Structure 1
Amino acid sequence: MNFKRHLPGLLILGVVWGLTPSVVKLALAAGIPPLGFGFWGAFGSALILSVLCASRRLRVPLDRPHIIQYSAAGLSGFALANFAGYTALQHIPAGFFALLVPLSPILTVLGAAALGMERLTPPRVLGTVLGFAGVALAMAPGAALPDPALLGWALLAALTPVCFAVSNIVAVRLAPRGTDALVLATGALYGGAFFLALFSLLRGEFHIPGQVGWPGEMLIPFQAGITAFAYLLYFRLIAATGSVITSQTGYIVPIAGVLWGAMIFGERMGWLALPAAALVFAGLWLVTAKR
């Protein structure tokens, strides 16, 4: 396998995923409620992937094992993750949120080890410690969080990678054998859209298109499009390079997220953000490096 051949794809995926926090902040600033935006993003991307499944003659099964998998993955990886992340993004910088993303693979390995699915080696233990130390440092004054008063919102945002990790484990434990990954992603997006619709209605945050100006409304199909594109690229990279190399996008997402936040919102990180990011990257490398 030629790693250089797939490097552009890894970079593009990291840049697209790093853009998401900034798109969410733009939508919230336009007046779209967090859970309402999350619903339309999940539902729209599910529709796009459904068309692609149909074009490839892939059926989305609706039997009990698949419904359970869609529901569990959609609830943890989309509904709860978006509830925590999108709500917190009303108050915290997009760049800070991007620094939390590498915690997902770290927590995935930790959770898998607790369930006996992975081996918890000393390097992985050290990597977990370094990753959490980096996030803690990012929350300190002079780092990525501009105001200590935002610590509560930062801790809420930190639940997002926890939800992603749970979703990753659920995807492995509950995925029916022989089902195409694109089909599972489509079903999980529909599951996430269902729970986000429910949550948004219960909290009075459901968004009816047309309630805000067109620049804000256009962010909905844009978010749905980049989400669907990212999932397609992700699965192609998984098939071509494997999960270990694809996980290296975890290094690109925080950098891209910080740069997007700086370009779109003029966010500026404190000097402690650099060592914080270095600790997170070191932890990610120790946890995911193939040995």
Structure 2
Amino acid sequence: MSPLLRAVLGLVVLGAIWGLTPAMAKLAMAGGMRPLGVAAIAAAVSALTLLAVAWRRRDAPRWTRAHLLHYGAGGLVGLALANLFGFTGLTRAPAGLFALLVPLSGLLSVVFFALAGIERLTARVLLGALMGVAGVALAMAPGAALPDPAVLPWAALMLLTPVCYAVANLLSVKLAPRGASALSMAAGTLAGATLSTVAIALPLGHLGLPPSAGIALLLVAQGVLTALAYLVYFRLLVARGGVFTSQVSYLITLAGLGWGFAFFGEVPGWLTLPAAGLIFGGVVLVTLGKR
């Protein structure tokens, strides 16, 4: 199998898992869990899973200042804050809408890379960003993925999640220690995410034990899948770079809409397709010609 095909298959696996995450979180919260309680347990299971694998392979995370900065920044922004905004919004808004907003992370990643001097900020990038904004506005209109205008504030809160993902993408590239392996970076980042999530969840009163064995098993499964997703994510980031890896957002949307229908019977309105077209078009435009 060629390296490019392996990378594409990695994107498919990553998209399927991250597309499933909102549906699993929504199920857990419907069973009585609080948003950051779900995120904290899943992050802890993920961190323990990857730390065990890393130590078994003698590839444990390093704990230098540079490594701790990378773990802490990525874990806080890319998981703790992203899940706080996303899971809180999911208590009222559809999982399918969440999946529709995720591609903005790919678009915003390129914009942030340009602002940070990693990529060029061109007219094409600005036009793509405007298309993405128009797509989001259309997605939240009646007849699209938002069934009730009263849910708009919760949907707006979820908009902060792709912003967090894009910032985490940038931080992962800018702060990645030289010579660090994908496995050690993933394990360290999830450890940082666990500590960050618990630190935020405690004062908010979100921590608590699962109310049933079924919810506990759901959270364990989510944690193991998150561990796998982070491992794939960092391997793609190391092998192919941030721009290529950010394209997983397309697959997350398709998978998320499918999982939302499978678990909750969510059927997006007729405006969802043009909204997705604008968002996808914006992402294609800003990443056009990039390797």
Q: Where on the TM-score scale, by shorter chain, does this alignment land: which range?
A: over 0.9
Q: Structure 1: which 5+ runs fail to align?
A: none
Alignment of 1:229-244 (within 5 A): 229-238=228-237, 243-244=242-243
CA pair 259-213 structure 1, distance change in 2 beyond 3 A: same
Read off the aligned partner of 2:277 and give its amino acid letter: A
Q: What TM-score results when the alignment is normalised by the length of structure 2?
A: 0.93
Query: In 2 relative to 1, CA 225–112 (structure 1 residues): closer, same or farther, beyond 3 Å?
Result: same
Aligned twin of 1:277: 276
What does residue 253 of structure 1 align with?
252
- The 1:156–1:280 alpha-carbon spacing in structure 2 relative to 1, beyond 3 Å, is same
Alpha-carbon distance between aligned partners in 2 of 1:53 and 1:192, rounded to the nearest angstrom:
17
Aligned to 2:208, what secondary structure does the other structure show?
coil
Question: Does the 8 Å contact 1:72/1:167 carry over to 2?
Answer: yes
Secondary structure class of the residue paired with 1:218: helix
1:257-290: CA deviations, max 9, x gaps?
0111011101111100000011111111112233
Q: Secondary structure at the match of 1:62?
A: coil
Counterpart residue number, 1:72:
73
- State the TM-score, normalizing by the size of structure 1: 0.93
Paired position in structure 2 for 1:218: 217
Partner of 1:136: 137
The answer to whether the 8 A contact 2:110-2:243 is kept is: no
> Matched residues in 2 for 1:235 and 1:60: separation?
13
Percent identity at matched positions? 49
Matched residue, 2:16: 15
Give the direction of change, closer, same or farther, for the CA distance of 1:5–1:78 in structure 2 (3 Å limit): closer
Who is 1:121 aligned against? 122
Q: State how 1:156-195 maps to structure 2 within 5 Å.
A: 156-195=157-196
Structure 2 distance, partners of 1:199, 1:242, is: 30
- Which shifted more, 10-19 or 268-277? 10-19
Consecutive aligned runs of 4 or more in structure 1 exceeding 6 Å deviation? none
**1:244 touches 1:290 (CA, 8 Å); kept in 2?**
no
CA RMSD of aligned residues (A): 1.8
**Which residue identity does 1:95 align to in structure 2?**
G
Unaligned runs of 5+ in 2: none
What is the CA distance between 1:243 and its match in structure 2? 4.7
Q: Report deviation, 1:191.
A: 1.1
Whole-angstrom CA distance in 2 between matches of 1:75 and 1:8? 28
Q: Is the 8 A contact 1:37 1:207 kept in 2?
A: no
Distance 1:78 1:264 in 2: 23
Matched-pair contact (CA < 8 Å) for 1:66–1:176: yes
Local SS of the residue matching 1:58: coil
1:63 aligns with 2:71: no
Hey, what's the Cα distance between the residues in 1 that align with 2:225 and 2:181?
A: 21
2:105–2:246 contact (8 Å) kept in structure 1: no
Secondary structure of the 1:286 match is helix
CA shift for structure 1 position 241 = 5.2
1:52 matched to 2:53: yes
How far, CA to CA, are the matches of 1:4 and 1:246 in structure 2?
14
What CA deviation, in whole Å up to 9, does each residue of 1:118-153 have, x standing for no partner?
111222222111111111110011100111111111
* Corresponding pairs, count: 289
Q: Could you tell me how far 1:233 is from its partner in structure 2?
A: 2.7
Distance in 2, Cα, partners of 1:19 & 1:115: 31
Amino acid at match of 2:42: G
Aligned equivalents of 1:8, 1:68: Cα separation in 2: 30
Paired residue type of 1:170 = L
Residues in 2 aligned to 1:176 and 1:236: alpha-carbon distance in whole angstroms: 14
What amino acid does structure 2 have at the position aligned with 1:122?
A
Shift of 1:7: 4.2
Task: Give 1:157 deviation, angstroms.
Answer: 0.3
| Structure-2 separation of matches of 1:4 and 1:62 | 34
